[in-house]
Structure formats: C-alpha cells, structure tokens
Amino acid sequence: MPALEDISVWIEMGEVRLEEYKTEVSPDGKIVSCWIACEPGKPFRIGIVVPPGEVRSANYHFVGYLDGTKTHLKGSVMRKRSARLGRTFYFDGDRDNKLSITRPFFFGALELTDDDACLSNVDKRFGEIQLSIRTAERMFTVPNTKHKPSGLERANSAADYRVHERSKKGVTHCVKFGDAKPYHIPTVTNIGREKTLCTFVFHYRQMDTLIANDIAPRKSKADNTASDASKAETMSEILKLRNKLVELEGRLEETEPGGSAQAPRRVKTEPRSAFEPGEFFDLTAEPVKAEPRKAFIPGEIIDLTL
C-alpha cells in the first residue's frame, strides 16, 4: 500500500505481510484503501512505520476502527522525538484502561440469524479494518484511576458476532477478540485538540471471494507448472537423501564399535544342479516306475477296446 505523509501501514497474519489488491487513493491524497485475504481463526496485527525524517513537530495518535467500531490500541500514542520514529512497531490487540485488560485480534466467522434484535448491527462495517493517523499539539499524562479488578471476567463474556440475514451484504467474516489478559498501566494520556493526518483502510474477505469478484488474480497455469516443477525437484532431493542414508547405514553396519572393519557378509551359495529350460521335476516322495514304451509302426491299427 502506498505511504501517506511518509507513513507506511500494512496487515500481517502469522507474522507474514498480506498481499494487497486494488489499491486506491482518494483525490485529496488523505485516504488509501485496498483489499486483503483473511483466514478464519488466524490472529493478525497492524504494522506501521513512521520515518524519522526531520524532528517531528507534532505528537501522534493512532486510532483503530474494526468493523466500524472504534478500538483503543496498545501503544496508540507516540510523542515528539519518540524512540519509535523510524522503527517498525505493531498493534496486535486492543486495551481497556477501565477494565485493565488487553485482548488480541483475530479473524472470525459471522453468524447469520433471523433475530430482529440483531438488526442494530446493520450500521457496522463488517469486513473493514481502518487506522486513522492523527496529530495533536498537546498531550497530558495523568494517573490511571479507572482500574476495575472485575474487568477480566467482563471482557471474556460472550460477544455478539451475529448479523441479521437481511443485512448481510456478501460479508461472512469479522474481527473478533481473543481471551483477555490483565494489562494495567499506572498512567494514561489525555489528548488535546487533534486533527486527522491520513487514513488507511483494509477491506478483508476470503481469497475465494476476492478471486470470484475479480479483485485478486486467479492462479495461472504457469504458477501451477512452477508448483509441479518445485514438487518434482523436492521429491528428487528426498530420494537422493534416502539413498545417502542407506549408504551411511551400510557403512555403519560394516564397522565395529571399536573401529576395526569387518569383511562384508557374504551369502553362502548352495551347489546347483544343471537345469535345462523347460524341464520338469517330479517332487513326489516315491519315484514313479517308468512303463516300457511300445514302438508305433506307421499304418498299424491300435485296438482301444482292450
């Protein structure tokens, strides 16, 4: 995704940066959006780099919106001359100073329902991750007096990830939160007047959906051929290693623990009798007495009634 105001933002899943499709920048250059592929049950994080450049004259505030709902990110404030300038850092969960907990992000599946009580979720922008970069002239650090020990139990209660079937618009997944963990900080930051510098928007869907809607390219035959060639090369390497293993095991068997070499074991060969191709052997216990053969004269008549 293109950098805005020299700031780069991306999404990682399994510590691997996700490929971005159909990137678009707004006419005023303040909003950039793209599409990414998600996998249900996989955790993700938001990566960001703010280059040092010249000494920044403003404080930064990073505000996240998951499926249209504002979330408080861990480490969302960066003051002037911060050590994080020019370094990559990540947002991998939300924090709640009132409950003193933090919860990791992961992709989950939406549940369809006909419960009209879920019609209120129609305003949620499921399938969207947004990060707003804001600047503030002043920030104030104050003691965190909103600590509530019961927060962990409340945070781990079942959340409502249901959507009414009438409001579904081709979206089958959402952002969910993992198990809450204690997270207490002695101070919090109050932010004065701020303004939005730029916004990054990531629309997430499963890869099959992106391909079906011509957002992500289909896998080409060349890719399949390359994949097959890679598999063949791997199998060839496996066979070579197996042969090498057999050879090494043979050497090991030929050598005693003391290091002296033994002569290779030879298979004792039994004496063989001459055998003509097509010849049959009678393997019965008693030999069969051969009957004398009577010579047959051409033209002779044989009486078969005897």
Q: Given pLDDT bands bounded at 50, 70 and 90, which one contains residue 3?
A: confident
Does residue 276 lie within any of the structural domains? no
pTM value? 0.65
Instruction: Give the contacts of 59 (CB within 8 A, at least 6 positions apart).
Output: 77, 78, 79, 80, 135, 136, 137, 138, 139, 191
Does residue 122 lie within any of the structural domains? yes
Q: Strand 181-182 to strand 139-143: parallel, antiparallel, or no bridges (unpaired)?
A: unpaired
Does residue 274 lie within any of the structural domains? no
- Tally of domains within the chain: 1
Instruction: Show the domain range for 126.
Output: 8-221
Does residue 292 lie within any of the structural domains? no
Q: What is the pLDDT of residues 252-278, one digit of tens each?
A: 777 655 554 455 555 555 555 555 555
Q: What is the pLDDT of residues 67-115, one digit of tens each?
A: 988 988 988 888 877 766 677 889 999 887 677 788 999 998 887 777 6
Does residue 283 lie within any of the structural domains? no
Q: Given pLDDT bands bounded at 50, 70 and 90, which one contains residue 198?
A: very high
Does residue 181 lie within any of the structural domains? yes
Does residue 19 lie within any of the structural domains? yes
